[in-house]
């Protein structure tokens, strides 16, 4: 079982008091260089390892941050997590992960994180924060940062959806399209609403009038409509309604765009020759299917989330901050831009 060497052993071997040992190990200044060296040498010789939990108990802080993330969303959070991980380990904190497979687990995980002294802060991802938890959270004063979701009560890091939609739509317009449709998710989702706004604004500022017939906002589809089937069905509706098929589509997520493209090619439309498509998210998949899309700076969002959290920890009364990142346009083949310019 590991070393079992304590500071008492070191103190004895180095003929000093335990206080001095502790000071050396924590780089406290008031120790003479000679004593410092003697203690350090002994520590190394005995292969001393501090006992994490004794430290945490005595120091009254956990050096731990817990992240509550939905495991069913996949793509997005995994990249954010990379940023979180890098920053967190750079700061010497530990990351305890509560992966939510089922929305009912949220409460129990929050409670666990709330155990006295257990974690110094929480990162809460992508899910609606349960109302009944908000007051509890506020009471305990445990620092928390929301990522990819919002609440007026807590700091948050998210993405400028409207702005991204604006850029995506503008890109299509600048490629010469005057008839740009949108395939959206359901308007119960905040991002969906914002992306629609961005789309409208882009049309407007380019002097194109908005036409409701060119927009499909996911209907009674299961979940929030951010899925492949929803995209597929949206296109099928266009065709079945006999409405005019736009020459270009802004689709509110990459995964829906997959469905859109599948439906289009099934019906004999070539992408991008007949219909251009731009998605949103830049999930891993997008690269493989050469989808032009709006990239969210997921890694940086993770890094910033941790930075914000530690700032909040050392400064509990700081004003609440909401940061939104700007997505960037990633041009691949599905929008037709490359073909036009290159070959």
Partner DNA sequence: CACTTGTTTGGAAGTGCTTCCAAAAGATGT
Partner DNA sequence: ACATCTTTTGGAAGCACTTCCAAACAAGTG
Contact between 224 and 188 (Cβ < 8 Å): yes
Residues numbered 225-254 forming contacts with its own copies, rule: CB under 8 A: 228
| 82 binding its own copies? (CB under 8 A) | yes
**Among 30, 220, 314, 343, contact with DNA (rule: CB under 7 A):** 30
| 7 binding DNA? (CB under 7 A) | yes
Where would I find the beta strands (DSSP E) of the chain? 64-70, 94-100, 121-125, 144-147, 155-159, 180-184, 215-217, 248-251, 276-281, 292-295, 322-325, 328-330
State the DSSP code for 213. Answer: G
**Among 18, 46, 114, 285, contact with DNA (rule: CB under 7 A):** 18
Nearest to 236 by CA among 255, 253, 219, 223: 219
**Among 288, 341, 342, 343, contact with its own copies (rule: CB under 8 A):** 288
CB of 7 vs DNA, minimal distance in Å: 4
| 98 binding its own copies? (CB under 8 A) | yes
Contact between 219 and 236 (Cβ < 8 Å): no
Residues numbered 117-176 forming contacts with its own copies, rule: CB under 8 A: 117-118, 140-142
Nearest to 281 by CA among 28, 90, 73, 103: 73
- Residue 56 or 295: which CB sits closer to DNA? 56
- Distance CA(76)–CA(69), nearest Å, equals 11
Q: How many CB atoms lie within 10 A of CB 158?
A: 20
Nearest to 197 by CA among 189, 5, 281, 299: 189
- Residue 60 or 288: which CB sits closer to DNA? 60
| 78 binding its own copies? (CB under 8 A) | yes
CB of 46 vs DNA, minimal distance in Å: 11
| 31 binding DNA? (CB under 7 A) | yes
- Contact footprint for its own copies (CB under 8 A): 1-4, 49-54, 56-57, 62, 64, 71, 74, 78, 81-82, 85-86, 89, 94-99, 101, 105, 109, 114-118, 140-142, 228, 258, 284-285, 288
């Amino acid at each position: 079982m590991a070393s079992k060497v304590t500071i008492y052993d070191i103190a004895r071997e180095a003929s000093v008091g335990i206080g001095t040992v502790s000071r050396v190990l924590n780089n406290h200044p008031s120790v003479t260089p000679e004593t410092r060296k003697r203690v350090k040498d002994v520590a190394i010789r005995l292969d001393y390892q501090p006992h994490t939990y004794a430290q945490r108990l005595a120091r009254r802080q956990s050096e731990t941050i817990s992240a509550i993330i939905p495991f069913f969303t996949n793509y997005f959070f995994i990249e954010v997590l990379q940023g979180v991980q890098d920053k967190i380990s750079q700061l010497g904190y530990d990351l305890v992960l509560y992966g939510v497979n089922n929305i009912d687990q949220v409460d129990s995980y929050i409670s666990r994180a709330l155990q006295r002294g257990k974690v110094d802060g929480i990162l809460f991802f992508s899910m609606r924060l349960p109302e009944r938890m908000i007051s509890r959270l506020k009471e305990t004063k445990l620092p928390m940062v929301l990522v990819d979701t919002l609440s007026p009560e807590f700091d948050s890091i998210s993405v400028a959806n409207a702005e991204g939609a604006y850029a995506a739509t503008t890109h299509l317009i600048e490629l010469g399209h005057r008839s740009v449709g949108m395939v959206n998710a359901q308007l119960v989702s905040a991002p969906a609403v914002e992306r629609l706004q961005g789309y409208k604004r882009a049309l407007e500022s380019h002097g194109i009038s908005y036409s409701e017939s060119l927009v499909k906002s996911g209907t009674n589809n299961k979940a929030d409509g951010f899925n492949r089937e929803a995209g597929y069905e949206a296109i099928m509706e266009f065709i079945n309604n006999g409405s005019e098929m736009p020459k270009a589509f802004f689709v509110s997520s990459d995964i829906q765009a997959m469905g859109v493209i599948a439906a289009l090619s099934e019906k004999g439309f070539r992408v991008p020759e007949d219909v251009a498509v731009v998605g949103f998210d830049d999930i891993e998949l997008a690269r493989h299917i050469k989808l032009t899309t709006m990239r969210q700076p997921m890694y940086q969002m993770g890094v910033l989330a941790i930075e914000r959290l530690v700032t909040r920890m050392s400064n509990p009364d700081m004003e609440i901050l909401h940061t939104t990142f700007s997505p960037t346009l990633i041009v691949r083949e599905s929008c037709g831009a490359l073909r036009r310019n290159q070959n």
